[in-house]
Amino acid sequence: MAAVLGVEIEGFVELALPSFGPPPGPGAVLLIAPFLVCFGGPFALVASPLLVLPTVSAARWAATRLTGRDVWWWVPVIASVVAAAGTAALGAAGDLGPGPSALGWPAGATLLTAAALVARRTALRGGRVRHVLGWGAVVAVAVFAIGTGVFATGLAPEYRPPRTDAAELSGSWTDGGGGTLRLDADGTARADGLTDHAEADGDDAEPTAAKYRCSGRGTWSRTEGESTTWDQRVWIRIEGCPGLDDPDGWRVGGTPDRLELTIGYGDPDAPDWYTLTPR
């Protein structure tokens, strides 16, 4: 149930944040529900004896030793310690950066606390699992309804790429790593030290290497989105930079005061993005 709610909330958050393509939205939970069941079920079976039940036992032991009676609020205390240790271990292994670590600890503590409290109450009184599933389904429907209402009424604006014209796109762009692109109003383009990520990715090499940087002159053009600004494209053809001439074109994104040109490379299903911003 936590996974379902997490996917829903993430979907609504993605609707409001700038992105490189239309986000799947909270409805994606309907598509990935089978995967949540297939992979979440075995994970829960493993996590219960390894994390949840030891957390309940440790909380009961600490409560009886330190307070003389079994009280529920020791569960979040122990869960927070376990989550902190797990986050620190992952951070030390290099799998988490400062941002994910800061979010991972409270998220892990909350999830482990909820599961441990359910396990504790089930052991004491029984019959709680079906209540969790039932009320969890109610909460999932409520989150979907509230989130849909928030966006439908305009309380939270849904992100859309800004509509642009040739004049707004003309000028100098930079990749932030020394590469620049000049788009002139007459349709000519000039690249200086841009990175051919498609070639570097094909060689499984470091893209910042000098051999994957290219310079040259060529042309550029743009097409408007037929039905939505998500379909806006910029087509760049530079002699000596074949990787910049992507069949899908460059996407226009960002915000009106800070436009972005992005091109995808790597895995088509989960691409990385090469981004240029106005210089």
Q: Is 96 strand, coil or helix?
A: coil
The per-residue pLDDT for range 215-259, each reduced to its tens digit, is 999 999 999 877 789 999 999 999 888 888 888 899 999 999 999
**Which of the residues in the chain have pLDDT under 70?**
94-103, 126-129, 202-205, 207-208
Q: According to the model, what pLDDT value does residue 19 have?
A: 87
Q: According to the model, what pLDDT value does residue 219 have?
A: 96
Q: Is 84 strand, coil or helix?
A: helix
Closest CA to 83 of 115, 60, 61: 115
Q: CA 80, CA 101: separation in Å to the nearest integer?
A: 14
Rounded percentage of the chain residues whose pLDDT exceeds 70: 92
Going from the C-alpha of 92 to that of each of 88, 99, 101, 125, the distances in angstroms are 6, 14, 10, 40
The per-residue pLDDT for range 55-85, each reduced to its tens digit, is 999 999 999 998 888 899 999 999 999 988 8
CB 199, CB 225: distance < 8 Å: no
Quick count: other Cβ atoms within 10 Å of Cβ 28? 15
Q: CA 225, CA 235: separation in Å to the nearest integer?
A: 13
Q: According to the model, what pLDDT value does residue 124 have?
A: 77
